[in-house]
Amino acid sequence: MNPTIRDARATDLEAIITIARAGAIEANRYAPLDLDDPRYRQVFDIIDRDPNHRLIVVESEGEVVGTLFLSFLPDLMGPGQWRGQLENVHVRADHRGKGLGGMLIEWAIGQCRERNCTFAQLTSNKKRSDAHRFYERLGFERSHDGFKLKL
């Protein structure tokens, strides 16, 4: 069965959260996992209603094995310019090396092109050197340093 890419459903939340946390370098900075926490569903509903945000999964043999969050951001640097922001790109460990991550990224780039985005951009933890090589193989260039302020 070929893997498929689709918009996430609320029933996918447990798999999405589990996959994303397993792939996060700094997973210990998150509160203990409580999948019954209603805030997960609240955030999912916000994403689901907003046409500028898409929570995506890749499904293989009926299982969610990868995820990506895609946002379309207006940008005043050029008239009518938009940027595609790719975040939380994760593939389940037992499915890595099968081309699913590349398939997700290429799909997202295609979505950005359809929305006439000027750029597709992403951030990645500085410690994820394998991920950096992966993104560079797909044509992404290191151009900026990112900063975060924990609130």
Average pLDDT over residues 118-126: 92
To the nearest whole number, what is the mean pLDDT of the chain? Answer: 91
The sign of the CA dihedral 114, 5, 56, 66 is: negative
Query: What are residue 90's DSSP bridge partners?
Result: 67
Q: What is the pLDDT of residue 29?
A: 61
Confidence band of 110 (pLDDT split at 50, 70, 90): very high
Does position 51 have pLDDT exceeding 90, yes or no? yes
Confidence band of 49 (pLDDT split at 50, 70, 90): very high
Q: Are 2 and 99 in contact (CB under 8 A)?
A: no
Q: What is the pLDDT of residue 126?
A: 86
CA 43 → CA 48, 58, 79, 80, 135, distances in Å? 9, 20, 30, 28, 27
- Characterize the bridge pairing of strands 81-91 and 119-122: parallel
Alpha-carbon gap, residue 17 to 35, rounded angstroms: 8
Among 3.40.630.30, 2.60.40.420, 3.40.1670.10, 3.50.50.60, name the CATH number for the domain at 4-137.
3.40.630.30
Greater confidence (109 vs 35) lies with 109
Q: What is the pLDDT of residue 120?
A: 97
pTM (predicted TM-score) = 0.90
Average pLDDT over residues 137-151: 88
For 19-33, 38-52, 70-84, 135-149, which range has the lowest pLDDT when averaged over its residues?
19-33
Average pLDDT over residues 134-151: 89
Confidence band of 85 (pLDDT split at 50, 70, 90): very high
Average pLDDT over residues 42-56: 97
